Each structure stands twice: as C-alpha cells, then as structure tokens.
Amino acid sequence: MNVFAQDFNKIDRQLGKEFEVLSRYTPFEFEKTEAQNKKIIKLIFQILKKYPKSIQYMFKQLAFVKISTSENKKIRIFSWDNMLSGTGRENINIFQFVDNNQNCVGQLDQYGSIDKIYSISFGSKNVFLMISQQKLSNPIRGLFASALQINSNCTFTEKCKIFKTPKKTYNQIDVNYSIFENDNNAYINFTNNILYIPLVLENGKLTNKFLKYKLKEGSFYFEK
C-alpha cells in the first residue's frame, strides 16, 4: 500500500468519526449540531486543498455522505444533511474541482442533496450539470437541475443561465411533487444529451410524461 493510500485510510476513518458524532445529535441540540457541521466543513476543506488526488479516492467510512463524481473525474461533490432542519431537510454541499494545475474547493449555496453531476464543458469553459432533490416539507419533494461553472482563478458561478425556452432563459429547472399523491419517488434524468423533467399536475401528482431539454452547444433547449 502506498503512502497516499495509507494517509487516506486514516483520513477516511477520521472523517467517518466526525460524521458519526454529527448523526448522534438530536434536533434540539442546535448549537452542538451547528458547531460540528462547521468543524466538518473546515476539516474537509483542509483535506481537499492539501490532497488534490483525493478526488480519486473511494471514501468508505462516510456512510452519511452522498459523494458524486463526474465521469471525467474533474469534479466531486460531498453532500450531507446538516441535521438542523425540521420537517424539511437541508444539505451542505462542498465541491472539489481538479484540472491541470487547478485544485479548487468551495461550498455551494444550494441545500438539496446533489445526486449526480455531469460535465457539459464546451470551449474553454468548465460547466457542470447538477441534479439534486430536497425534502421541502413533510409531503413535498423538490427536484432540481442547475449548472455550475468553475473559472480559471477558482472562482465559481452557480445557477448559470443555460436552460432555454423560446421565450426565456432560466438558471434552474425545478419541480415539486407530493408523496401523498404518488406511490413512487420521482427523479430528473440526463441521458443521450437529453434532460428529462417529470411532468407534475397542480395537485402534486406525477404523470408518466416528461419535459425534455436537449443539450446543444453548452445550453439546454426545450423541445416540444
């Protein structure tokens, strides 16, 4: 086992213990929960900035964390429930972007659980499609598609305006549905350069139809 793997096995266990501490707090222990989240955020930032190769490491001890990595291995997002909300849930999302001599780490201003991330880079721009979901209240679930652009100086732009209809351009696509009106959960899917958005009725009931946005030249265009 090489030194990098040995170091990261220890780091993996250390992070796992910190998340385990977070999971033990009750919703009434707000100050402790908030402090533990801040401790974890600081620790993850330190690790990712020190070890660019961590983007290749398969964390095994982070049972409470959703880790999504793009297929080209340029970006990874760590997403976890901050344990601070009531009936709705909010996640903390931290990304690491590694390309050539860049190793960028940042916290996103998004609160859903980011499940998948895809590279849709075009030209010299590094743009990524993020698909997420969030429990907004007891019956209501939200589904989101948004884009993140990483710039050359490690600054980043969230919710880029790349979703286009004949009349408007949007920085995000979102849809809400009710679990009381449906037997199954819904998901946004991206396959063969087409983004499939579940069509939902006004009462929150899912249909078997989808809105389609096709990726062309770095933007998603609504298709009838």
Residue among 197, 81, 83, 184 at smallest CA distance from 129: 197
Task: Report whether pLDDT(155) > 90.
Answer: yes
More confident residue, 212 or 183: 212
Task: Report whether pLDDT(1) > 50.
Answer: no
How do residues 93-136 score in pLDDT, each as one tens digit? 999 999 988 999 999 999 999 999 999 977 778 999 999 999 99
More confident residue, 190 or 152: 190
The pLDDT of residue 2 is: 54
How do residues 197-216 score in pLDDT, each as one tens digit? 999 999 999 999 999 999 99
Per the DSSP assignment, residues forming a β-bridge with 95 are 77, 106
The pLDDT of residue 27 is: 79
Separation of CA 88 from chain center: 17
The pLDDT of residue 185 is: 86
Q: Write the DSSP assignment of 15-70 as a string of letters.
A: HHHHHHHHHH--TT-HHHHHHHHHHHHHHHHHHHHH-GGGGG---SS-TT-EEEE-
Q: Is the dihedral of CA 52, 56, 60, 64 positive or negative?
A: positive
How do residues 21-65 score in pLDDT, each as one tens digit? 999 998 789 999 999 999 999 999 999 999 999 998 989 999 899
